[in-house]
Structure 1
Amino acid sequence: MHPLIFREVLSVTMILFAIIDILGAIPVIIQVRQRVGHIESEKASIAVLILMVAFLFLGDELLAVIGLDVSSFAIAGSFVIFIIAMEMVLGISLFKEEIPTSASIVPIAFPLIAGAGTMTTLLSLKSQYQTQNIIAGIVINTLFVYLVLKNVKWLEKLLGPVGVAILRKSFGIILLAIAIKLFRSNTHL
């Protein structure tokens, strides 16, 4: 097994941090908490970790079953990431999701945190980074997700509505750049 490469771990961590957008999800998390009363941050965080690591290892096999390669999936993923980024930057909602009356694993762990964009990004990252560095990035992000879920009331007061909006727009711009990079690195034009 190769040693961890700090630069790769940092890159993967930042990419996943932007796509997961846990800070941008604070308003949704607050809404879910108000509806159901309590969010089980430990249970949601463990589910996020398991989902992401499992998809990292099984995603290729799943693609092989349906006859796709990682580059094709990465290009498709770049479009999904691009759309998510546009939602964040423009303040629009293209993907409509219903929030159920339970906040166990659904909707916090999946699809809010470890949703389609995150899974697509994981497979895309596999084409550019070593697996152990991706796992390290997943673990770091899961810890951050846990901290945010555990302290969402405090963060809401600290950031205020303007702070949350600024964070969301900033991460949207980062995601746009990531989407373009993924597209360019997986196309052979």
Structure 2
Amino acid sequence: MSFTINELLTVTFTLFAVIDIVGSIPLLITLREKMGGINSFKATLVSGGLMILFLFFGESFLRILGLDKRSFAVGGSIVIFLIGLEMVLGHEIFKADKDSKAGTVVPIAFPVIAGSGTLTTVMSLKANYDEIVIVIGILLNLIVIYIGLRSLNFIERVLGEAGLLAVRKFFGVILLAISVKIFSSNISAFGK
């Protein structure tokens, strides 16, 4: 169960890019206004719980469906690629559920923070990294998520519209590269 700092950084950065708390700020600000506020702690706790549950029980769920980690990783890498493409090109591929009536849990914790892309990424990372690395990466991201939710107004003022767009595109390119790496390291298993 040993891991390197590079592995931890890769996992943490991958999750950070997929969760895209910075890129979600415009949506989060809109939802906060519609709902009259966001319970930052509850949203962080629920989204973290979903990620950790999926990390540990996602594989059993896949077995029930007759799938393995490598198949899921290849499928997940395609989803990650599409999310990255969406971020770079600025075209919506995945339609977000904009129903804000349910509050902090839905849609903030799920699907905005811990959506299908995030949960797919957790499983895809599990094919290449130890669970402890992924758990630490999730916990580090939960700290960033909590700070991000608490600092929506400040972040919006500091980055401005152009800054948010630039950050989103940068993380989109990183996601594209990560998805290619996950795809290439898992697709070879199918030829054997």
| TM-score of Structure 1 vs Structure 2, range by shorter chain | over 0.9
Q: Give yes or no for the alignment of 1:186 onto 2:186.
A: yes
Deviation at 1:9, TM superposition (A): 1.4
Which residue is equivalent to 1:84? 83
Which residue is equivalent to 2:23? 24
2-structure distance, mates of 1:12, 1:94 = 24
Deviation at 1:21, TM superposition (A): 0.7
Deviation at 1:49, TM superposition (A): 1.1
Q: In the alignment, residue 63 of structure 2 is paired with which amino acid? A: A
Which residue is equivalent to 2:58? 59
1-structure distance, mates of 2:127, 2:117 = 16
Q: In the alignment, residue 5 of structure 2 is paired with which amino acid? A: F
State how 1:135-174 maps to structure 2 within 5 Å: 135-174=135-174
1-structure distance, mates of 2:149, 2:47 = 12
Q: In the alignment, residue 114 of structure 1 is paired with which amino acid? A: A
Deviation at 1:3, TM superposition (A): 4.3
Which residue is equivalent to 2:96? 97
Deviation at 1:57, TM superposition (A): 0.1
State how 1:103-142 maps to structure 2 within 5 Å: 103-142=103-142
Q: In the alignment, residue 21 of structure 1 is paired with which amino acid? A: D
Q: In the alignment, residue 46 of structure 1 is paired with which amino acid? A: L
Deviation at 1:10, TM superposition (A): 1.3
* Structure 2 unaligned blocks of 5 or more: none
Residues 14-64 of structure 1 show CA distances to partners (whole Å, capped at 9, x for unaligned) of: 110111111000011011011111001000000011111110000000000
2-structure distance, mates of 1:102, 1:154 = 25
2-structure distance, mates of 1:142, 1:5 = 21
2-structure distance, mates of 1:5, 1:184 = 21
1-structure distance, mates of 2:54, 2:65 = 15
Runs of 4+ in 1 over 4 A off after TM superposition: none
* Structure 1 unaligned blocks of 5 or more: none
Which residue is equivalent to 2:33? 34
